[in-house]
């Protein structure tokens, strides 16, 4: 596990594209530019899992708002290459991202997950994310309204002594 480096982009982009193609990972229809990908992440909370030079998966923390009141609230994105699925890669990535988020003072993490993405739902629940509710018809994908299940994780470290 380590911080993302620009030299990782081509492999990270492939993993992102594979997630997009499933239709179960994101509303995105194309990968963003490298610049946007990096700029949209909280500094130092853009991570990759790797085996030597091969990227197995990636995760990032993004701010949910620029308003000061929400400075400790972030959104989680996590993608694992299909060949690395079921081998603990997602767990290692999410644990590292939780640690990174708490080091940066985040007290709440959100994840929006398509209900069909059972693997992601299981992973997030394993790390203490709780289902908040369902956003019905929140967006269209290929002309079909989609549902997103919203999950939240409150830090046990940040914001508990107030």
pLDDT confidence of residue 159: 80
Structure tokens at 34: 């490298």
Domain that holds residue 36: 2-111
- Indicate the number of domains in the chain: 1
57, 80 contact by CB (below 8 A): yes
Tens-digit pLDDT profile for residues 44-92: 999 999 998 899 999 999 999 999 999 999 999 999 999 999 999 999 9
23, 58 contact by CB (below 8 A): no
Q: Is residue 148 part of a domain?
A: no
Tens-digit pLDDT profile for residues 26-53: 989 899 999 999 999 999 999 999 998 8
Q: Is residue 60 part of a domain?
A: yes
Q: Is residue 11 part of a domain?
A: yes
Tens-digit pLDDT profile for residues 91-120: 999 999 999 999 999 999 999 999 999 999
Q: Is residue 119 part of a domain?
A: no
Q: Is residue 46 part of a domain?
A: yes
Say if residue 60 is exposed, middle or buried (CB neighbours under 10 Å; 0-12, 13-18, 19+). buried
pLDDT confidence of residue 95: 98
| Cα 10 from Cα 5, distance rounded (Å) | 11
Q: Which residues contact 16 (CB under 8 A, 6 or more apart)?
A: 28, 31, 58, 79
Distance between the two ends of the chain, CA-based, in angstroms? 32
Q: What is the mean pLDDT of the chain?
A: 95
Reported confidence tier of residue 161, pLDDT bands at 50, 70, 90: low
| Cα 57 from Cα 1, distance rounded (Å) | 10
| 160 has pLDDT over 80 | no
State whether residue 70 is helix, strand or coil. helix
pTM of the full structure: 0.93
Q: Is residue 28 part of a domain?
A: yes
Q: Is residue 162 part of a domain?
A: no
Q: Is residue 120 part of a domain?
A: no
Give the CATH number of the domain where residue 102 resides: 3.40.630.30
pLDDT confidence of residue 17: 96
pLDDT confidence of residue 162: 57
């Amino acid at each position: 596990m380590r911080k993302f480096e620009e030299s990782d982009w081509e492999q990270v982009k492939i993993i992102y594209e594979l997630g997009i193609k499933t239709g179960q990972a994101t509303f995105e229809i194309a990968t963003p530019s490298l610049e946007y990908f990096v700029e949209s992440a909280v500094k130092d909370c853009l991570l990759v899992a790797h085996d030597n030079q091969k990227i197995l998966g990636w995760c990032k923390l993004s701010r949910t708002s620029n308003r000061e009141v929400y400075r400790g609230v972030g959104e989680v994105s996590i993608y694992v290459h299909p060949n690395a699925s079921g081998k603990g890669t997602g767990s290692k990535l999410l644990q590292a991202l939780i640690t990174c988020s708490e080091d940066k003072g985040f007290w709440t993490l959100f994840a929006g997950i398509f209900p069909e993405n059972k693997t992601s739902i299981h992973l997030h629940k394993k790390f203490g994310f709780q289902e908040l509710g369902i956003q019905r018809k929140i967006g269209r994908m290929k002309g079909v309204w989609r549902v997103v299940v919203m999950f939240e994780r409150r830090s046990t470290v940040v914001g508990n002594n107030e």
